[in-house]
Structures are given as C-alpha cells and as structure tokens.
Amino acid sequence: MMREVREFPFALRGRHNRKSFCLMLLISAISLLIICLVSRSFFPGLLALLGDLVLIFVWYHHVRAIDKELAGLSDLVDRTLRGESSLSIDSSEEGAFAILTGELEKMAVQLRTEADQKKIEKQKMSRALANIAHQLRTPLTALNLNMDLLMRGNQKMNMDLMQDQNESAMESRSRQMHEMRRCLLRMEYLVEAMLKLAKLDSGTVQFKREPVLLREMLTRAAEPLRIPMELKEQKLVISGDGSFLGDMDWSLEAVGNILKNCMEHTPEGKEICVSIEDSPIAARIVIQDQGEGFSLEDQARIFDRFYRGKNASSQSVGIGLALAREIILAQNGTVKAENIPKEKGGGAMFTIRFYKQVI
C-alpha cells in the first residue's frame, strides 16, 4: 500500500488531495456534459474543457506548493528535535497555516528552553558531585591516617613496658580519637546538608505556615553555638521582636547557619548584634558581626554552594549559607550580605526579610 502511495505525483500524495482531485474531475466532466447537451455545439464545450483544465492546473500547483512547504517545515522540525538546527519561522501571513507555524515555533522554543535547563541542571549536578567528592576526601583521608596511627600505636603499646611511654602513647591515642570524631562530625554535617539541599531542589519539602516568633527563633538557633561563643567570650545581643508565617524548624536551620558564620568571623571578646523589625509588609532581621567583612569577590559569591571565602575557617565546607538562602527564598523571603562601613565599626551584615504578602 505504501508503494502505491509513493507512485502518485507529489501533489496527489495524500488521501484528501486525491479525493479532492477526483471530485474536481467529476464536477468538470458533469459540467462539460451539461454544457454540450444544452448548447448542442462543440465550441462552448471546448471552452468549458479548457476552463476545467486551467482550473485543474491551478489547483494542482497550489496543492503542490502547500505540500512542499509542509514537507520543508516537517523536515525543519525533525532536524530541530534532533538538535541539528534551531527552528525559526518568519511568516507575516494570516490563516490556519500561519497559526500552525506559530504554534510550532512556540513548541520549538519551549523544547529548546527545557533542553537548556536540563543541560544546566546536569552541569550543576556534575559540579555538586565533584564538590561532594572533594569535601568528603579530606575527612576520609584524615580518618584513614589516624586509623593507621592508632593501629601502630597499639602495636607499640604492646611492646613497651615503660609507664611514661605508655602515658605518652595514650595521650597521642586520645588526640587521634578526637580528630577522628571531628572528621566524622564534619562528614555527617555535609551529608545532612546535601540531603536538605536535594529536598529543596526537588520541591518535595512542604513548608508549614505557622506563626513564628522571631526572638524565640533566634534564641533557639543560637543555642548550639553557646559553648563555642563562651569559649571565645563572645556576646549575642538581640533587640526588637516580630513574627511571620513560616516553618520554625527550617527557619532555625537557615538563621543558625548565618549566626554560625558570624560567630566564626567575630574576634574574641566581641559582640554579634541582632535587631528585629516588624511591619505589615515584612519581618526584618539584621545580623551584624565585628569581623573583617567580605572582600568584593566573596560578597558576590557568598551564597554559592561550596564557595569558601578568603577568610573561611579550615572546617568550613561552603554549604551553610547556600542552604540558608534556599530555605529563606522558599518561604517568600530574601537575604542579603554586605559590609558595614569602617566609620560604623566594620564587619559583615546579613539582612533577612520574611514577607507577609506574596511578592
């Protein structure tokens, strides 16, 4: 059956074209017969026959032009879907064909956009996996090294009988165990943070819409930092009050990461100041430290995943602030990092806004 269709002339390929062609021939033959019977003369019939032939000729070339244009458009769409070219249709005509070309162009643009987005997501995933591998390699190397030292220490302790040497070995063993514990905690934090980011990226997190008291949230977020802040003789000062509708647990994670960053960059004996302002439009939190502030490069990339600033501590993995931003944005909020002018004391300042209306 397909072989028979291919044997037709170009303009007659297609059932509808063949039907319309046969119908036109039938109407032409009937009209020619009627003219000949009515006029009872050969000349009017000849004129009618010539008119029918001209009509058929015009129809044939019109259908052939449409089929060629559709075939070209179909080939262009096919090559676009295979990524060999980009679909660009310039048509100022009106009618069904123009509507079809417009819809095809919109479809092609949407497909290109989706393909570009998938490519970007694939690149992000590749970079994320590379960063994860890099971040996990450091504590794993330290764990392996300390495990090797512990095994050697056990052999030495079994061979040594002198008490002072045994005590020295025990102290070394304790330090190594402490280092292994620190590495394990770092790996645990990294894995948990990546899982949280993955949930946020996939859109599977269902944020609650409950009243969140800002002062209570900040106090609870600072609780895990209380001991290291006491060791550095730092002081946390909170002023003002307010509330917004959000998720307390996820907000604690976001604000806690920002407070932790400020604590790490604040010198000993200095303060971390937090001010809260409430309005019908948004709840505003300003967190200020008394550290060195950001460099221009750091300020532009401070919320990028796995980015570690010039003044970052050796334990930083560059994921806390990125996680904080994702959580805040997901709750109709914004966060901004900037430097405090030198004449006002210097340091870093984080401004968080939780909007009470959709913006």
Indicate the fold that domain 210-355 takes in CATH.
Heat Shock Protein 90 (3.30.565)
* Top-confidence range, 2-6, 44-48, 344-348: 344-348
Tokens of 352: 């968080």
pLDDT grade for 189, boundaries at 50, 70 and 90: confident
Mean residue pLDDT across the chain: 76
CA distance 59 to 41: 28
CA distance 194 to 184: 15
Q: What would the mean pLDDT of 7-14 be, rounded to a whole number? A: 53
Please tell me the pTM assigned to this model.
0.58
Interval 102-127: pLDDT, tens: 777 777 777 777 777 777 776 766 66
CA distance 335 to 350: 7
Interval 230-246: pLDDT, tens: 999 999 999 999 999 99
pLDDT grade for 4, boundaries at 50, 70 and 90: very low
Residue 126's pLDDT is what? 61
* Top-confidence range, 27-41, 207-221, 285-299: 207-221
The packing angle between helices 96-159 and 42-81, to 10°, is 20
Q: Which amino acid is at 286?
A: V
Is residue 2 scored above 60 in pLDDT?
no
CA distance 172 to 153: 8
Domain boundaries defined on the chain: 2-85, 129-202, 210-355
Spatial CB neighbours of 139, under 8 Å, sequence gap ≥ 6:
183, 184, 186, 187
SS3 of residue 160 by DSSP: coil
pLDDT-above-70 percentage for the chain = 67
Residue 3's pLDDT is what? 40
